Amino acid sequence: MKKKVIIVGGGPGGYVAAIRAAQLGAEVHIVEKEKMGGTCLNVGCIPTKALLHTAKLYHTVQEEINNGLRVEGISLDWPALMARKDTIVNRLVQGVKGLLKAHGVKTHSGQAVLKDAHKVQVVGENTVTLDADIIVLASGSVPSKIPVPGANSAGVIDSTAALSLPKVPKSLVIIGGGVIGTEFASLYSSFGTKVTIVEMLPEILPMVDRQIAKRVKEKLTECNIDFMLEAGLKEILSTSNGLSAVVQTAGKNHEVAGEYILMATGRKANIHNMGLEEVGIQTERGRIVVNEYFATNIPHIYAIGDCNAQMMLAHAASAQGVAAVEYALGHRPFYNPKVIPSCIYTIPEAAGVGLTEDEAAAQGISYKVGLFPLMANGKSLIEGCESGLIKLIVAEKSGEILGGHIFGPRATDLIGEIALAMNLEATVDEVIATIHAHPTMSEGIAEAALSVSGNAIHWPPGAKIL
Ligand code: NAI
């Protein structure tokens, strides 16, 4: 008899798990309370990148005006840009719905609540209760707010609201110099907004390799973005001109004015109002506890993606969803948590996979570093980027690639080569032996591999890379 699988949440974790479970012969039901596609598709990855695409074009055209391009009367049509973003989102949402239907997955609209370990109630227009052999929780995450006075004032926004502002703001204060903070800083500063990033740590992008994060910050600074580091938000004041963030640095309070204040200080797992406590599912520090196959303490109930908070990335959620249903349906999944790329869509982009240099050092690993500056790469110069960098972290003895980090145009696509190499446990010699097309940015990966032994072709021996 077919196993009955219920998936709670229709984001990239849930809908991918649903399709995989259907491929494996299960009867699959998916429950979603809002729109299919989840945060990523509706108010996350896709709409942000749609806006960043135009921001990058706008930014690039203005740079190219100095490089032989004459453009008259370039201007921004904000409502048209919003409409394009919405069209892309709607098309992809329809695509997900179509895929689920094509795989025979039954969709239910409403809030899923566990009634017992085998029963899920869907509270919606028509409340129904479904029985399940296997339940996969894929309920995602929500933005976390800092509870300072004034945090609920009009104009204090999260990343969802930042995607649908009525017009380009004159000024924007972003609290948090992480992924969301830097992406929105790139986006709005490209359209002329005066952006200030307030970050409590001494550096932005704390999870990113330090050399790469430094270059991102330098580029953002060139784009007229201001930074306040080691700065804690104390209060938000409403003024006659908008808002003012009261920020403490070195023991002193400063006021930073902005038309809007964007809170980008992280997200938290969405684990409430789902009956978890009633059924006895173990949670810890606001997330669902899972084992290596994403099973909770109740073995036929799984939790994947942001709700287990292992790695809050869409593609990690999809991979976990596939692994969970494969395991639950009696297959042997392959999931390698050491090789999950993370991508930042600033202008230019940054991306990394595997260990950063600091992590390799902290783990006491004997490693070597390969570095190649993209100012010596023809394609990168053609694309107008002189500050790019490719960095490899390599095991000293075996030459196996342990980490890769890129700053430069299309870094988010390029990182796939390093991820594949790492998944195949490739060594630098194997990367070097792979012929890379010319002129491409990917040549820089081979050059970084060559540089591990000081043999880069397009970089003088011993020349310093700052
Ligand atoms: P984040 O964790 O990346 O960054 C939050 C930043 O805020 C950190 O640098 C932290 O030090 C800082 N911070 C925290 N409290 C603060 C305070 N009181 N004052 C000043 N700074 C403070 O979180 P973010 O950027 O909000 O992103 C949320 C999640 O969404 C992350 O897991 C991220 O990976 C994911 N995401 C991924 C994207 C991608 O893959 N391109 C794009 C957007 C989000």
Model confidence over 294-334: pLDDT tens digits? Answer: 999 999 999 999 999 999 999 999 999 999 999 999 999 99
With residue 356 as reference, give the H or E element that holds it.
none
- 265 CA to centre of ligand 1 in angstroms: 5
267 CB within 6 A, ligand 1: yes
Q: Residue 421 — very low, low, confident or very high, per pLDDT cuts 50/70/90? A: very high
Out of 51, 174, 179, 413, mutate this one to test ligand 1's pocket (max ligand atoms within 8 Å of CB): namely 179
Cα 146 to Cα 152: distance, rounded to the nearest angstrom:
10
| CATH pick for 156-265 out of 1.10.287.610, 3.40.640.10, 3.40.1190.20, 3.50.50.60 | 3.50.50.60
Ligand 1, atom 8, lies closest to the CA of 178
CATH of 4-142+268-328, one of 2.60.40.10, 3.50.50.60, 1.20.120.1750, 3.40.50.300: 3.50.50.60
Write the DSSP assignment of 198-267 as a string of letters.
E-SSSSS-TTS-HHHHHHHHHHHHHTT-EEE-SEEEEEEEEETTEEEEEEEETTEEEEEEESEEEE-S-E
Centroid of ligand 1 to alpha carbon of 450 (angstroms): 34
To test the ligand 1 pocket, which listed residue (144, 249, 265) has its Cβ within 8 A of the most ligand atoms?
265
Q: What is the pLDDT of residues 374-385, one digit of tens each?
A: 999 999 999 999
Tell me what the mean pLDDT of segment 5-29 comes to.
98
Provide the pLDDT for residue 233: 97
- Ligand 1 contact via 177 beta carbon (within 6 Å): yes
Q: Cis bond leading into 143, ω under 30°?
A: no
Residue of 433, 460, 459 whose CA lies nearest to 446: 433
- Closest residue by Cα to residue 284 from 311, 309, 265, 313: 309
The structure tokens listed for 87 are 């069209």
Residue 173 has a pLDDT of 98
Which 3 state secondary structure label does DSSP give 142?
A: strand
What pLDDT score was predicted for residue 126? 87
For residue 304, give both structure tokens.
Answer: 């994947």
Q: How many CA atoms lie within 13 A of 319 on its CB side?
A: 16
CA of 143 from ligand 1 middle (Å) equals: 9
Q: Is the pLDDT of residue 62 over 90?
A: no
| 158 pocket-lining for ligand 1 (C-beta < 6 Å) | no
Rounded to whole angstroms, how far apart are CA atoms 434 and 170?
A: 48
Specify the long-range contacts of residues 23-28, CB closer than 8 Å, at least 24 apart.
23/103, 24/325, 24/326, 24/329, 24/331, 25/329, 26/2, 26/134, 26/325, 26/329, 27/2, 27/3, 27/106, 28/103, 28/104, 28/105, 28/106
Centre of ligand 1 from the C-alpha of residue 213, in Å: 14
Determine whether the shortest distance from the Cβ of 286 to ligand 1 is under 6 A: no
Give CATH 3.30.390.30 domain extents, the chain: 348-451
Cα–ligand 1 centroid distance for 128 (angstroms): 37
Distance of CA 176 from the midpoint of ligand 1 (Å): 6
Ligand 1 centroid–CA 196 distance in Å is 15
| DSSP annotation of 37 | T
Residue having the nearest C-alpha atom to atom 24 of ligand 1: 266
Closest ligand 1 atom to residue 45 Cα is: 42
For residue 146, the ligand 1 atom closest to its alpha carbon is: 18
Is the pLDDT at 466 greater than 80? The verdict is no
Q: Which atom of ligand 1 is nearest to the CA of 180?
A: 25
pTM: 0.97
Nearest atom, ligand 1, residue 345 CA = 41
Please name which of 64, 243, 219 lies closest in space to residue 150, comparing C-alpha atoms.
243
The minimum-distance atom of ligand 1 relative to the CA of 312 is 32
Torsion 36-100-279-304 (CA) sign: negative
- Choose which residue among 160, 182, 200 to substitute to test ligand 1 binding: the one with the highest number of ligand atoms within 8 A of its C-beta: 200
263 CA distance to ligand 1 middle (Å): 9
Question: Looking at ligand 1, which residue's alpha carbon is closest to its atom 32?
Answer: 312
Backbone angles phi, psi at 287, to 5 degrees: -140, 160
Q: Give me the helices (H) in 329-366, please.
A: 357-362
Q: Which atom of ligand 1 is nearest to the CA of 263?
A: 26
pLDDT of 386 reads 93
Half-sphere exposure of 70 (CA within 13 A, CB side): 0
Q: How far does residue 180's CA lie from ligand 1's centre (Å)?
A: 6
Residue range(s) occupied by CATH 3.50.50.60 in the chain:
4-142+268-328, 156-265
Select from 151, 153, 158 the least CA-distant residue to 266.
158
- Provide the 8-state DSSP code for 295: B
The pLDDT assigned to 72 comes to 86
**Is residue 176 lining ligand 1, measured as CB closer than 6 Å?**
yes
* CB of residue 146 inside a 6 A radius of ligand 1: yes
Homologous superfamily of 348-451: FAD/NAD-linked reductase, C-terminal dimerisation domain (3.30.390.30)
- Work out the pLDDT band at 406, boundaries 50, 70, 90: very high
Which pLDDT score is estimated for 334?
A: 95
Cβ-in-10-Å burial (0-12, 13-18, 19+) of 307 comes to buried
User: What is the distance between the alpha carbons of residues 421 and 438, in angstroms, rounded to a whole number?
Assistant: 20
Ligand 1 contact via 415 beta carbon (within 6 Å)? no
Q: How confident is the model at residue 140 (pLDDT cuts 50, 70, 90)?
A: very high
Average pLDDT along the chain: 97
Share of the chain above pLDDT 70, in %: 100
Active site residues: 438
Phi, psi (degrees; rounded to nearest 5) at 86: -65, -35
pLDDT at residue 240, rounded to an integer: 85
Q: Is the beta carbon of 232 within 6 A of some atom in ligand 1?
A: yes
Find out whether the beta carbon of 418 lies less than 6 Å from any atom of ligand 1: no
Give the Å distances, CA to CA, from 359 to 319, 369, 373, 403, 421: 23, 13, 22, 10, 19
